[in-house]
Structures are given as C-alpha cells and as structure tokens.
Amino acid sequence: MTNSLWGRLDDPAGNAGHTDHPPRMGFFTDTSVCIGCKACEVACKEWNEVPEDGYLLTGMSYDNTQQLGASTWRHVAFVEKPAETVETVDLGMPEVGLPGASGDAGVKWLMSSDVCKHCTHAACLDVCPTGALFRTEFGTVVVQPDVCNGCGYCVPACPYGVIDIRPEDGRAFKCTLCYDRLKEGQKPACAQACPTESIQFGEVDELRERAAARVEELHARGVDVARLYGADPEDGVGGDGAFFLLLDEPEVYGLPPDPVVTTRDLGSIWKHVGGAAAAIVGLGVASFMGRRR
C-alpha cells in the first residue's frame, strides 16, 4: 500500500496490478496554441459515438458546450478578459480616439481544451463500489459500461467535476483516453484532430519534459503568465495523466486551483467512523445500566 491512496506514485498501472505493462500514456494540452476550433470536441464525439447533450446558446463567449460531462469528454473553454493596460504618464498631449476610451487595450482571449485528467490517484476509481472504473495498462482510468450500475458515487468524488451520469442512460461516462485506439497503437481522436498540436499525446514522462521546456521557452519570450497545471507528481492527486499549460489562474478556466484526492483522508475518515460506531456500542450498553425501568 505504498502511496496507493495519496502522494507520489510513479507507476499507477503497476500499483493497480498490471505487470509488463506499456508506459503511462497521457495528454499535454498546451493552451497557448489553442485556437478554439473545437475539432477535438467533434472528433471525440464522432469516434466515441457520444450522444448530443443539448444545443444551447449560453452567451459565454464562443462556448456553448459549457462543461465536461457524461456526454462531453473534451470541452473547449473560451475566456474573454480585458487585456492589461500599460501604465503611461499623462503628458497633457492631445489624445487620439474617443474621449475616455484611452487605456482600453482590448480583450485577452484564452482558449483551452479541457479533458478528464486521468489522475495518478483517481477518486472516481477508488470510490466505485462495483469495480466498473478501472486502471488500464496505460495508466489511464476507464469506466466499463457493462458493469456500472449508476450509483453515482464517482460524480461527487471527482475533484475536477469531470465524470457524470448520463440521465437518459443512468450510467456514468467520461473520457477513456480512447482506450480502443491506444490498444491499436493509435493516437486518441482529439489529439489526432488538433490542427495546432495544442493537444499532444504521448508517454507521460516525455510529455512532462516537453511541457517544462515549453514553459521555459514562453518565459524566455516574456510570457510570464505561462504555468503548468497538473504536471507535478507531488501535487494533491499525484499528478495528472492529462495536464495543461495555462496562461492564467486555473479557476479562470473552471479548474480547481489545488485539488486534493479525497482518499488522502480515508484513514482519518474510517477512524472517526469506527470511533462513532464504538460510541454507539457504549451508549447502548450504558442505556441498559442502572435503574430497572
């Protein structure tokens, strides 16, 4: 049970009982080159035969997909923020443009294709009572639809709000990292379709190196806001199998800033349940002590 529940774990597939397994595979999504084309969303839906889940106009920039869910396994977020204005000294010179319009530097547009993180410590998998969720030989996390009984425990367990129940079906669904394609040595559909290589697929170890190099490159070019998200194997979920390069705080993209897998506290949870159960036994015995009626 070395770090099975929380902490650094370098071989999740091996920890799950796979021997002679292939290297851990994952995604590095570099949002700095995402153009918001949604080809990943479409490719995912097509390949995995994911049903439609509503055609809504949300008013949230170009995002009518809204969020990851049982029938949305890639979700492109669109964030429009006022770009930072450059502080200037007023020299009292005549201005160009509309009065009062100076200082409007326009819009900073962030786009990011979100996906299941395939956590090193996957809460959805750990709380699943049927064994429908399992760790594949590639270190990814997949639901078996023929086993899932729709108990819904995985839904509130996920610290990223990824997995959900498909209401008309009753079972839980999420990204499989194209388990079927991986078995055939192919790229997942989203990575295959991405025209800018914002979605990069590969061995997680190699992707982490690539991601670190990319952040360094961006920092060198003055893009100080570039940061990695989910790439650190020491973080609250033991690192993500699918991690990101972001250009703003995670919560701006709808991601939790510091997610921690719930099983970190599992020992304490069971200990307190045991204490409460013992208290009931004691309270029961005490109730029959003393007076006769």
Query: What is the footprint of another protein within residues 223-252 (CB under 8 A)?
Result: 249, 251-252
Query: Does residue 161 interact with another protein by CB under 8 A?
Result: yes
Query: Does residue 6 interact with another protein by CB under 8 A?
Result: no
Least Å distance, CB 160 to another protein, is 7
Strand partners, 29: 199, 244
Helix intervals (H) in the chain? 12-15, 39-48, 123-127, 154-157, 179-183, 189-193, 204-220, 266-287
Query: Does residue 34 interact with another protein by CB under 8 A?
Result: no
Smaller CB separation from another protein, 184 or 251: 251
Query: Does residue 35 interact with another protein by CB under 8 A?
Result: no
189, 282, 286, 287, 288 from 291: Cα distances, Å: 73, 17, 11, 10, 8
Query: Does residue 22 interact with another protein by CB under 8 A?
Result: no
DSSP secondary structure letters along 1-70? -TTSSSS--S-HHHHTT--SPPPPEEEEEEGGG-----HHHHHHHHHHTPPP-------STT--S-S-BT
Smaller CB separation from another protein, 66 or 192: 66
Residue 4 and residue 119 in contact, taking contact as beta carbons nearer than 8 Å: no
CA 136/CA 121 separation, integer angstroms? 13
Least Å distance, CB 208 to another protein, is 18
Query: Does residue 19 interact with another protein by CB under 8 A?
Result: no
> Which among 19-27, 35-43, 176-184, 253-261 is the span making contact with another protein, rule CB under 8 A?
253-261
CA 239/CA 10 separation, integer angstroms? 9
When binding is defined by CB under 8 A, the residue of 76, 162, 178, 189 that contacts another protein is 162
Smaller CB separation from another protein, 201 or 253: 253
| 110: helix, strand or coil | strand
CA 25/CA 176 separation, integer angstroms? 12
Residue 147's CB is within 10 A of a number of other CB atoms, namely: 13
Smaller CB separation from another protein, 221 or 291: 291
What is the footprint of another protein within residues 39-78 (CB under 8 A)? 58, 60, 66-67, 69, 77
Query: Does residue 219 interact with another protein by CB under 8 A?
Result: no
CA 220/CA 93 separation, integer angstroms? 35
Smaller CB separation from another protein, 69 or 230: 69
What is the footprint of another protein within residues 96-155 (CB under 8 A)? 123, 126-132, 147-153, 155
When binding is defined by CB under 8 A, the residue of 38, 45, 135, 171 that contacts another protein is 171
Residue 207's CB is within 10 A of a number of other CB atoms, namely: 22
**Binding residues for another protein, how many (CB under 8 A)?**
74
When binding is defined by CB under 8 A, the residue of 138, 160, 201, 244 that contacts another protein is 160
Least Å distance, CB 170 to another protein, is 3
Query: Does residue 17 interact with another protein by CB under 8 A?
Result: no
Helices and strands counted in the chain (H then E): 8, 10
Query: Does residue 83 interact with another protein by CB under 8 A?
Result: no
